[in-house]
Amino acid sequence: MDIDVRGPRFGAAVTTVVLAAVLITSSTWLLAWQTLAFALGAAGGAARSPYGVLFRTLVRPRIGPPTAFEPPEPPRFAQAVGLVFAGLGLVGYALGPGWLGLAATGAALAAAFLNAVFGYCLGCEMYLLGRRVTVRTE
């Protein structure tokens, strides 16, 4: 079942704010929360992530029915990519080296920002590129 395209974009906007706060405060706990949010999104899909639930219960009823849909697999893959970067950032902040925390969190922030502001999902594009390559080689 396809999902409302506005949900993952809303999640990316919240993620952008959270990751920016992590970079400003160097909060390991806040990055741990975001890592958990990515893990839940990767495991259950973007609609089941904490930000997806927030979108579905509080935002979507106020903005009306969706006008565009997308398959859930690319955003789910993007959540997994975010999980990898947030996990690396968490290791960097918690255990060192500090530059790893900054770099991995900054990369995740850049990807979330692109999705939130421009609707360009890097993780989704990686997923789709992988599907195109796989199809061409078969």
Q: Which domain holds residue 57?
A: 3-137
Q: Are 22 and 89 in contact (CB under 8 A)?
A: yes
Provide the pLDDT for residue 133.
63
Q: State the CB neighbour count (10 A cutoff) for residue 125.
A: 14
Q: Is the dihedral of CA 102, 12, 16, 130 positive or negative?
A: positive
pTM reported for the whole predicted model? 0.89
Tens-place pLDDT, residues 86-126: 999 999 999 999 999 999 999 999 999 999 999 999 998 98
